[in-house]
Structure 1
């Protein structure tokens, strides 16, 4: 009842899931313009705005896992998106290498896929405990073991001749996805903190600090406003705090198309203009 009251209170807030997606997409374009044209003098604040993007889409992904009609289809779509992004960026860089050193390592689909798989496995285990369902418990723990084994051995798989690198490229691991384990754990916690904005914002703040590495050797305060700007992802807590729990207008396929398309277009323009 308490969680229901919280969600009802949030329903009066101004931002729907659709609004968050639009905000995320606009900021993402700014970030990727800086990524592709930083050498042409694009200001650093473009990529500062981009620090908000990953937490917003990770949050929306956790919401998507809660409300999707078919988790299998949701995970399948993310898997296809992740594989496509990996091979698209690899091929683009081989066919059109950037003389300015622009690197394509963009694949938020891989991060979202890792989060979705982990949530699904954890939910199977939780369901097993709640319902005293031994079958779910056994399946859940076996899947968890497989997930952990794969993720902790993925670096060694890359050394396997011919097929190793392609397996790792096709099946993302926590340690190789965009944002690494920090983003994966962030998505899992955001999912299980549904209805508790204080915990969600605290988690985003913690992820921001960890990603920035305030304790790192050689850390300089001035770098927080020039190079070491990952802490700025904390500002994503503002639009997320204003989320009302409603989906809003549907745009399920748009992001799957726009994300790879705009990266490819910006990269090609970057390479061709400054070739």
Structure 2
């Protein structure tokens, strides 16, 4: 190949690499926006699978394996065949997804390697249309797991695919961890605001009872509790209703 041809080939290779990196980066940006809004982890994991299927060529089937108390389960999958491959690994107690989850290493394999590496798993998936396996460790809310790619293309996955998947999972773990913490903090803040609002309403009702019945704060509170229990409603709801009735009468 002449020098000019080599330059053109190198340029095409560089352009392809940049494009694939852009797709992975775009997927991570989309994931960040999703996890800040979506509290359902199953929805987030499903979106992660679909993002990776789009961002990494050859990722025809994608799944997420989670180890809960040491037992593997599939948290999300893009296809029934992906589930079948996962379940074959769980039954055989071996395979790329389990090895990645347990060792923390990216695992890549071709069908021809299965009899030597994971013979029981290889027998279970012998009839499935999968020509390449690629799994990267992926922790979800502290639980070990893996993000699994299964390819139907003849040459399976290349080293670049493994590098891109590792880049995605490493960044996605951080995005997921920070965003989920933000959601929990936001939920706690909402609960705190609700508690403070409830406290304010109860204190208003208690002040009215103290003024009307000329009793102490403790006695007024006990009276409100007794009346809310007899009405079979929460104290905050009873206090709010009590204040509304007082204002209406006034």
TM-score, normalization: structure 2? 0.31
Larger Rg: 2
More strand by share: 2
Which one has more relative contact order, counting CA pairs under 8 Å at least 6 apart? 1
More helix by share: 1
